């Protein structure tokens, strides 16, 4: 079914529909994504634009995720719907074999920095030992015909190819322009479903860095049932990944794993977080981390907070760890390290 999108403006006497318009140049969309890849709502590092392939084509945008996997971002532009799908598949056949040296060359040409440096800046962690184990395709368009949508769904569901479409709709009222976005399929569901056999299936558990310093205290998180991150969009955006029902394991650097719990509420700015669900604001409590209030009115810099129902949480002195246990500098990431899961299972009844 073809994706449709409408937009209404709220006015004093009701709603007024905003007229849909045609984006004059799709190059504008490419530039917007280049300037802020967060438009896609994917946790990505952009590593190349108009990347030349040996076959005469050029990948519109090439990105990398926090696992070191490559993501092809291809705009429909003036191509027919079926052509853009075929071209994206052709690019994928080349991308899948790119070596570290070739990826490093793409990054140096585009960002004039080493891959290790830009990866650390974006994800706050070192490069994975193995890069490009998997790759994915995102086709960006204002619309596709129903046949092309069926092809994309078929490739994803029947052939386990990580391919998806993101639709951008353009609206205009006078001189004011608006851009809307929706996905053909839920990107997280596609990613989980299309993991290849050589990839360890996701455990369903998230690793979450507690942090223990001037902005937050593990004892506060434990007592009032929350986790938070902020003082920069790159930190708070990770917290926004967590949704009600997600299961997390809290890790305290220098100590080990201190808690296992279930997310009870989506991320909100810390000033709005009700720790008991009955209107009691977290910031009205006697917290041990007073600097958590810093930038509380700034949506980009403020801490963002999720509620947690702790199934088991211990003081940092009782943290559990072992040699080689999984630890990561990311605020939030998927936990797939089986030795760590096996070790923690009896401690936290996973």
pLDDT of residue 287: 83
Mean pLDDT of 51-58: 90
Q: Where in the chain is the domain with CATH 3.10.590?
A: 205-348
Task: Please provide residue 141's backbone torsions phi and psi, each rounded to the nearest 5 degrees.
Answer: -155, 160
Per-residue confidence at 197, pLDDT binned at 50, 70, 90?
Answer: very low
Task: Check residue 199 and give its pLDDT.
Answer: 54
**Mean of the pLDDT values across residues 80-98?**
88
CB atoms < 10 A from the CB of 325, how many? 15
Question: Distances from the Cα of 25 to the Cαs of 8, 55, 144, in angstroms?
Answer: 24, 26, 17
- In the chain, which residues fall in CATH 3.40.1350.10? 8-193
Most confident of 164-168, 215-219, 304-308, 327-331: 304-308
The domain at 8-193 falls in which architecture?
3-Layer(aba) Sandwich (3.40)
Question: Taking 70 as the threshold, does the pLDDT of residue 269 lie above it?
Answer: yes
Please compute Rg for the chain using Cα positions.
22
Identify which of 15-19, 204-208, 216-220 has the greatest average pLDDT: 204-208
Structure tokens at 116: 């290790």
- Give phi and psi for 274, each to the nearest 5: -100, 110
At residue 240 the predicted structure's pLDDT band, cuts being 50, 70 and 90, is confident
CA 6 remoteness from chain centre: 25
Q: What is the mean pLDDT of the chain?
A: 85
CATH number of 205-348: 3.10.590
Q: Which residues pair with 65 in a beta bridge?
A: 44
CA distance 215 to 291: 5
pLDDT for 263 equals 96
pTM higher than 0.75 for the full model? Answer: no
**Residues 222-241: what's their mean pLDDT?**
85
State the burial class of residue 283 (Cβ atoms within 10 Å of its Cβ: 0-12, 13-18, 19+).
Answer: middle
E strands present in the chain: 8-11, 14-17, 20-21, 44-52, 58-65, 70-75, 135-141, 163-173, 176-183, 205-209, 226-229, 247-252, 256-269, 304-313, 332-334
Band (pLDDT 50/70/90 cuts) for residue 296 is confident
Cα separation, 216 vs 230, whole angstroms: 10
According to the model, what pLDDT value does residue 256 have? 93
Average pLDDT over residues 91-112: 94
pLDDT higher than threshold 90 for residue 64: yes
- Could you tell me if 225 and 309 are in contact, meaning their C-beta atoms sit under 8 angstroms apart? yes
Is the pLDDT at 128 greater than 90, yes or no?
no
What pLDDT does 230 receive?
84
Pairwise pLDDT comparison (26 vs 166), residue with the higher score? 166
* 107: its two tokens: 């990054």
In this structure, what are the phi and psi dihedrals at residue 325, rounded to the nearest 5 degrees?
Answer: -65, 150
pLDDT, average across residues 98-116:
94
Looking at per-residue pLDDT, the higher value among 187 and 61 belongs to 61
Q: Are 269 and 303 in contact (CB under 8 A)?
A: yes
């Amino acid at each position: 079914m073809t994706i449709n999108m409408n937009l209404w403006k709220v006015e004093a006497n009701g709603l007024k529909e905003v007229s849909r318009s045609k984006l004059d140049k799709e190059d504008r969309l490419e530039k917007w994504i280049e300037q802020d890849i967060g438009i896609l709502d994917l946790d990505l590092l952009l590593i190349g634009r108009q990347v030349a392939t040996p076959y005469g084509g050029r990948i519109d945008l090439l990105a990398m995720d926090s696992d070191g996997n490559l993501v092809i971002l291809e705009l429909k532009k003036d191509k027919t719907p079926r052509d853009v799908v075929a071209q994206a598949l052709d690019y994928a056949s080349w991308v899948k074999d790119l070596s570290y040296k070739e990826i490093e060359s793409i990054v140096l040409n585009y960002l004039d920095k080493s891959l290790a440096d830009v990866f650390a800046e974006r994800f706050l962690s070192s490069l994975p030992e193995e890069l490009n184990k998997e790759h994915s395709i995102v086709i960006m368009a204002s619309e596709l015909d129903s046949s092309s949508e069926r092809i994309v769904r078929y490739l994803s569901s029947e052939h386990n190819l990580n391919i998806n479409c993101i639709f951008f709709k353009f609206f205009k009222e006078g001189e004011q322009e608006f851009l809307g976005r929706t996905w053909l399929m839920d990107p997280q569901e596609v990613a989980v479903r299309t993991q290849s056999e050589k990839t360890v299936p996701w455990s369903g558990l998230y690793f979450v860095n507690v942090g223990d310093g001037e902005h937050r205290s593990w004892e506060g998180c434990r007592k009032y049932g929350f986790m938070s991150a902020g003082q920069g969009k790159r930190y708070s955006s990770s917290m926004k990944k967590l949704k009600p029902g997600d299961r997390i394991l809290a890790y305290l650097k220098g100590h080990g794993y201190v808690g296992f719990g279930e997310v009870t509420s989506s991320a909100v700015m810390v000033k709005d977080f009700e720790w008991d669900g009955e209107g009691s604001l977290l910031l009205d409590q006697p917290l041990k981390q007073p600097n958590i209030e810093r930038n509380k009115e700034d949506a980009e810099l403020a801490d963002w907070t999720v509620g947690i129902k702790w199934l088991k949480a211990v003081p940092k002195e009782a943290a559990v760890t072992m040699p080689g246990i999984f630890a990561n500098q990311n605020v939030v990431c998927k936990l797939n390290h089986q030795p760590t899961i096996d070790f923690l299972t009896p401690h936290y009844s996973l």
